[in-house]
Amino acid sequence: MKKLINCFAVSLVLFSSVIWAKSDQLCINQTQTLQPEEINVVEVSRTLPEGLVLDPTLPVTITVEKSICSEGDAFQEFSSLGLPNIPDLPSDGDNRTITQQRGCIVHTYTQSYKGGRWVTTTYKAVYLDNCGVSDV
């Protein structure tokens, strides 16, 4: 099994990918992190279950994970097409993590793309120790 790891930044978007080949199949696991200025918070908030919201006045970070596999002459196919901008082209099985800090709490939502929409699978709120406490 061959493995190649790429990591590069373009326009404040972090991409990383792992490419592996197994017999006549080539697979790419790609992760892309969007920065707050690239995210439509209102649109993303609509994908959350009722009662869970994002504050549109605070920064949000989204990390998207996607796997793409191809049969046959996959190396040529992937090298000619290049890696897709994965948040623009979600497909079933893609995953994303949405993170936002509001005050002393970090809110994390994990979603999977199923049936043409993002479905929230987990929600976690973590209180930051010593948040807002100063050493006087």
| Both tokens assigned to 11 | 């326009």
Q: Cα separation of 108 and 85, whole Å?
A: 23
Across the 136 residues of the chain, what is the mean pLDDT of every consecutive 10-residue run? 37 46 67 83 91 91 82 56 61 91 94 93 93 64
Angle at 111 between CA 105 and CA 112, to 5 degrees: 165
pTM greater than the 0.85 cutoff = no
For residue 82, what pLDDT is reported?
A: 53
In this structure, are strands 13-22 and 95-102 parallel, antiparallel, or unpaired? unpaired
CA gap 68, 103 in Å, rounded: 38
CA distance 63 to 99: 9
